[in-house]
Copies of this chain bind each other. A is one copy, B any other.
């Protein structure tokens, strides 16, 4: 399965992305020198992760005969922007760690929910790409 997006810069921080018939607007806040017309790239990463977890939460609940009436998902991550700004190369550029809190609306017991969460984590594509290495090739045209 191939997934594709096309993007263009509207200015130095604002990016307009086309994914099929959908458009995403990504930007940086004013205090980071941006035009603040959309969420930041790293907020988009955490948002993508929450979307993937929601799909997997429902899919696996169905497989396990868990009644899931809905779910709330809080995700946070910490990063040091020093490398991004070229000030220091001591720390990595991206999130150092990511914390997810799943708040399912369900009556399932704790042991069942533990199995459910483990399967979500294992089978969620975004979880996999964040937790494991992925080869990226960048070319210039």
User: A residues engaging B (CB < 8 A)?
Assistant: 1-9, 12-15, 17, 19-20, 22, 24, 26-29, 34, 38-52, 54-60, 62-63, 70-81, 83-86, 92-104, 110, 113-114, 117, 119-141
Contacts and interface: CB of A to CB of B under 8 A. Distances in A.
A131 to B, nearest CB: 5
Copies in the complex: 2
A7 B92 contact: no
Contacts of A76: 2-5
B43 A5 contact: yes
Nearest to A105: B9
Given A45-B129, A47-B26, A75 B7 contact: yes
Contacts of A119: 86
11 contacts: A4-B76, A5-B46, A5-B50, A6-B74, A9-B54, A26-B47, A28-B55, A44-B44, A94-B128, A94-B134, A101-B140
Contacts of A80: 1
A72 B8 CA distance: 4
